[in-house]
Amino acid sequence: MREGDIAVDLRRNAIKCDDNSCRWGKNSTGMVNVPYTLSTNYTSSDQTIILTAMQEFATLTCVRFIPRTSESNYLQITPISGCWSYIGKQDTSQIVSLVRDCMVLGSVQHELNHALGFFHEQSRSDRDNYVDILYNNIQPGTEANFKKFDTDNQGVEYDYGSVMHYPRTAFSIDGSSPTIVPKPNASLPIGQRYGLSNLDVSKINKLYNCGLCRTLLSGSSGSLTSSNYPNKYPSASSCLWLIRAPSNQVLLEFSAFDVQASPDCTSDYLRIYDGPTTSSPLLVTKACGSGQLPPMISTKNTMLLEFVSDNTTEATGFKASYSTVTCGSVLTNPTGTFSTPSYPSDYPPFMDCTWIITAPPGFLVSVNMTDFYLESQKTCKYDYVLAFDGPKATSPLMGTFCGNAAVPILTSTGNSLLLQFHSDDSIQTRGFLAKYTFVTRK
């Protein structure tokens, strides 16, 4: 082993690969198929984590991990001992060891990225421009894990947030002293295992000449636009944006939307999925034309946007931002109910929930709080419900509510209404139960 998790094949150079022999080849469709076998020793939960990690490669790159049939070069994914892999494609079957401690999305992707041909980020040839290695803090005898190599950096900037980066205290002499310090800002976080970073994705697509329009957004908030926005987007394009928040649910809001209109949106369109893949449930089947799209809320921490344009007319496209909420949903059925988390038991502390109720054009939204009991305070500054006459928190405020006084029936002036619930760190009560219905505009 080198650097803790890299198996070294002494039969050939594991660093340079000028003839592409250590890279997996493309097929006739431009995809890079990497065959694999999966040990029967893995539980169904283990298999789900591994397959989810693989699926993210398929969503964001041209790499496809496929079950092996008869291929001679393939990955044997098995729980041998620890987490480790060879670098790049070998000339036969090759082991990727993933034991129970490796069953984290980013740890699985870390080892798979080794198998695709990637070293640790802090092993880059230019790493001294970005980090200092504190050798006095490294366990004696493990200094070789911090060697630099003559790497192909593909013109991509150094990535402190790469899934391939060591953590700050890797091989630390006492488990707490730093061995790697970013510069010039020593407080930058490094060594995450949440999953691939956007620069990880860029490196894979460059190494394998994928030629894809793919973006990963992995922060708790951010923004995205169609290509060239606010100028016209290119024709004959297909782009994906995967929002993978660290936790909670994704709230997506559009500030601009202008996509070529066509019957049933058959020409240019935007699709939005409630999950990380194009097989996830749809939040928006197809959207085109101009005007505002309503906000969207995912059920988990991922949301996928797919934008497709044809060979004809282009428009300016779209601009959107996202943030996270601890709970909530988009409600579009004619009637329904919703409540604070755990109702009728006490709601948890530190909650920020959003419900967006959207009716068809020509209808209004009516909300009736059939039970309401929040922490009471004169100005409702601790726990409260905010109601907005529209789909956004910038819409007109209809009221702020707390305590146990009856809340009047809330009726929108348009076809949407938004409610936000907030709780602080103390005094939790049972919260509220609300019923909503769509009513015909008079």
- Do 217 and 319 share a structural domain? yes
Question: Same domain, yes or no, for 370 and 383?
Answer: yes
Domain membership flag for residue 189: no
Whether 142 maps to a domain, the answer reads: no
- Based on the domain organization, do 369 and 333 belong to the same domain? yes
Q: Is the pLDDT of residue 376 over 50?
A: yes
What's the whole-number average pLDDT of the chain?
93
pLDDT for res 2: 64
> What is the mean pLDDT of the segment spanning 351-357?
96
User: Residue 18: which pLDDT band, with cuts at 50, 70 and 90?
Assistant: low
C-alpha span between 282 and 291 (Å, rounded): 20
Q: Which of 121, 145, 162 is the last residue of a domain?
A: 121
- Domain end marker among 100, 121, 142: 121
321 and 340 fall within a common domain: no
**Does residue 132 sit within a domain?**
no
What pLDDT shows up at residue 8? 60
Q: Point out the residues that are catalytic.
A: 111
Tens of pLDDT, residue by residue over 199-226, are 999 999 999 999 999 999 999 999 999 9
Both 309 and 385 in a single domain? no
Mind listing the pLDDT tens digit for each residue in 265-294? 999 999 999 999 999 999 999 999 998 788
- Count: domains in the chain: 3
Query: 347 falls in which pLDDT band (50, 70, 90)?
Result: very high
Domain end call among 283, 308, 325: 325
What is the rounded average pLDDT of the residues 28-44? 96
Q: How many CB atoms lie within 10 A of CB 321?
A: 14
Does residue 308 lie within any of the structural domains?
yes
Together in a domain, 290 and 395:
no
CA neighbor of 318 nearest in space, from 309, 327, 328: 309
Check which CATH number belongs to the domain holding 244 and give it: 2.60.120.290
Same domain, 114 and 15: yes
Q: Is residue 173 a part of any domain in this protein? A: no
Which CATH number characterizes residue 90's domain?
3.40.390.10
Place of tokens 């909670």: 248
Q: What pLDDT, on a 0 to 100 scale, did the predictor assign at position 91?
A: 84
- Model confidence band, residue 10 (pLDDT cutoffs 50, 70, 90): very low
For residues 18 and 78, membership in a common domain is answered with yes
pLDDT band at 1 (very low <50, low <70, confident <90, very high): low
Query: Domain limits at 41?
Result: 6-121
What pLDDT score does 150 carry? 86
Please check whether residues 265 and 365 belong to one and the same domain.
no
pLDDT at 15 over 60: no
Asked if residue 82 is part of any domain, the answer here is: yes
Task: Return the HEC string of the chain.
Answer: CECCCEECCCCCCCCCCCCCCCCCCECCCCCEEEEEEECCCCCHHHHHHHHHHHHHHHHHCCEEEEECCCCCCCEEEECCCCCEEECCCCCCCEEEECCHHHCCHHHHHHHHHHHHCCCCHHHCCCHHHCEEECHHHECCCCHHHHCCCCCCCCCCCCCCCCCCCCCCCCCECCCCCCCEEECCCCCCCCCCCCCCCHHHHHHHHHHCCCCCEEEEECCCCEEEECCCCCCCCCCCCEEEEEEECCCCEEEEEEEEEEECCCHHHCCCEEEEECCCCCCCCEEEEEECEECCCCCEECCCCEEEEEEECCCCCCCCEEEEEEEEECEEEEECCCEEEEECCCCCCCCCCCCEEEEEEECCCCEEEEEEEEEEECCCCCCCCCCEEEEECCCCCCCCEEEEECCCCCCCCEECCCCEEEEEEECCCCCCCCEEEEEEEEEECC
> Is 382 found in the same domain as 303?
no
Pair (230, 299) in one structural domain: yes
Is 13 within the bounds of a domain? yes
Tell me what pLDDT residue 3 has: 67
Model's pTM, two decimal places?
A: 0.86
Answer yes or no: do 319 and 335 share one domain: no
162 within some domain: no
